[in-house]
């Protein structure tokens, strides 16, 4: 197998990989990137002078590209999510989450590229949700091993999606029922178990009283905040982060206003968590 130059950021999560993503890469190199992703959960690439087609090409090697349900279907580059933030327009991604878990098949991963960065601040933090699961007490693990939880859309996005897809509420609910996902999912490639609930989109553990569910979810969410399970990435223009959405959460640190920050995300379709 082709070997890549890989510099881990921490012993458990995050590694910087030196490869030029703007060139078409052989399957052997892409397979090495995939292996590195499976091992390090989030990869970082510096100085990637790539265009949108390169961005999509890299993502497409891993699967179909996802069009976010709030995007205008059929729009040019509908797969691209551009997050431009400043004092007036804030993205509110400063909450620990995995992407789009309110769909029945949440993404495999996302590839984010920085276009404009503040002089300081605007880092993204990542948490290893295998470690988060493994760090739980036996008693808690026994409680959640076969549990499922309901994930829901943020209310504001429901209106945007209904408008962009021209859907009435009934049609929307038929197309996008709130999914129930396993609280502990097994990664389809590594076979490892990870904690799969997040503070942004998970609502309630199925079959549990609301109060008990809230308390248990609060404890599970706090696992993403354990420093030993985390890494933190400082962006430069043309830095790229590629995270495995099945076993990580991330948090965009909102400490840079009134400076501006622009990032672009391409998301790769995933499967039903098992």
Catalytic residue numbers read 97, 99, 250, 265
Rounded CA gap, 133 and 183, in Å? Answer: 10
**Which residue, 90 or 272, has its beta carbon nearer to ligand SIN?**
90
Per CB under 6 A, does 224 bind ligand SIN?
A: no
Residue 198 interacts with ligand SIN (CB under 6 A): yes or no: no
- Is residue 191 classed as helix, strand or coil in its secondary structure? coil
Residues 233-262 that bind ligand SIN (CB under 6 A): 250, 252
Check residue 97 and report its DSSP letter: B
Of 15 and 81, CB closest to ligand SIN: 81
- Which phi and psi (to 5°) does residue 205 adopt? -80, 130
Distance CA 39, CA 49 (A): 26
- Cβ nearer to ligand SIN, comparing 31 with 157: 157
Binding-site member from 158, 201, 265, 269 for ligand SIN (CB under 6 A): 265
Q: How many residues bind ligand SIN (CB under 6 A)?
A: 10
Among 83, 147, 167, 199, binds ligand SIN (CB under 6 A): 83
Residue 186 CB partners (closer than 8 Å, separation 6+): 192, 193, 274
Closest CB 110 distance from ligand SIN, rounded Å: 6
Residue 55 in contact with ligand SIN, rule: CB under 6 A = no
Nearer to ligand SIN, 126 or 133 (CB): 126
- Is 24 strand, coil or helix? coil
Pure H helices in the chain: 27-40, 52-60, 129-134, 138-144, 155-164, 169-175, 210-222
Least Å from the CB of residue 77 to ligand SIN: 17
| Residue 94 or 186 having the CB closest to ligand SIN | 94
| CB of residue 149 to ligand SIN, shortest distance in Å | 20
Query: How many C-beta atoms surround the C-beta of residue 53 within 10 A?
Result: 10
Minimum CB separation of residue 244 from ligand SIN in Å reads: 13
Q: Minimum CB separation from ligand SIN for residue 207, in Å?
A: 30
Query: Within 10 A of 36 (CB to CB), how many other CB atoms are there?
Result: 19
Q: How far apart are CA 243 and CA 110, in angstroms?
A: 6
97 to 156, contacts with ligand SIN by CB under 6 A?
A: 99, 110, 112, 124
- Is 187 an interacting residue with respect to ligand SIN (CB under 6 A)? no
Nearest-angstrom CA–CA distance, 107 and 101: 8
Query: By C-beta, is 126 or 144 nearer to ligand SIN?
Result: 126
The answer to whether the peptide bond before residue 258 is cis (omega within 30 degrees of 0) is yes
The CA dihedral of 188, 205, 252, 11, to the nearest 10 degrees, is -50
* 263 touches ligand SIN by CB under 6 A: yes
Smallest gap from Cβ 81 to ligand SIN, in A, equals 7
Dihedral, CA of residue 70, residue 109, residue 177 and residue 272, to nearest 10: 160
Residues that bind ligand SIN (CB under 6 A): 83, 93, 99, 110, 112, 124, 250, 252, 263, 265
């Amino acid at each position: 197998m082709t070997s890549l130059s890989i510099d881990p950021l921490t012993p458990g999560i995050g590694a910087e990989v030196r490869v030029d993503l703007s060139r078409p890469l052989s399957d052997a190199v892409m397979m090495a990137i995939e292996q590195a992703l499976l091992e390090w959960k989030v990869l970082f690439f510096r100085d990637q002078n790539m265009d949108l087609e390169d961005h999509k090409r890299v993502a497409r090697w891993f699967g179909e590209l996802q069009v976010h349900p709030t995007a205008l279907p059929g729009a040019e580059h509908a797969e691209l999510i551009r997050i431009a933030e400043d004092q007036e327009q804030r993205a509110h991604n400063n909450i620990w989450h995995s992407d789009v878990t309110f769909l029945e098949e949440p993404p495999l991963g996302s590839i984010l590229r920085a276009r404009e960065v503040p002089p300081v601040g605007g880092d993204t933090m990542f948490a290893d949700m295998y470690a988060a699961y493994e760090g739980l007490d036996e008693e808690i693990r026994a409680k959640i091993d076969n549990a499922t939880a309901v994930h829901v859309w943020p209310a504001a996005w429901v209106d945007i999606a209904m408008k962009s897809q021209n859907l009435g509420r009934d049609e929307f609910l038929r197309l996008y029922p709130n999914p129930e996902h396993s609280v502990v999912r097994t990664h389809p490639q590594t076979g490892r178990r990870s904690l799969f609930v997040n503070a942004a989109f998970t609502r309630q553990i199925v079959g549990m009283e609301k109060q008990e569910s809230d308390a248990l979810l609060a404890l599970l969410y706090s696992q993403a905040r354990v420093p030993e399970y985390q890494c933190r990435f400082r962006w430069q223009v043309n830095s790229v982060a590629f995270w495995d959405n099945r076993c990580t959460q991330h948090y965009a640190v909102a400490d840079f206003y009134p400076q501006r920050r622009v990032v672009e995300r391409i998301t790769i379709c995933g499967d039903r968590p098992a």
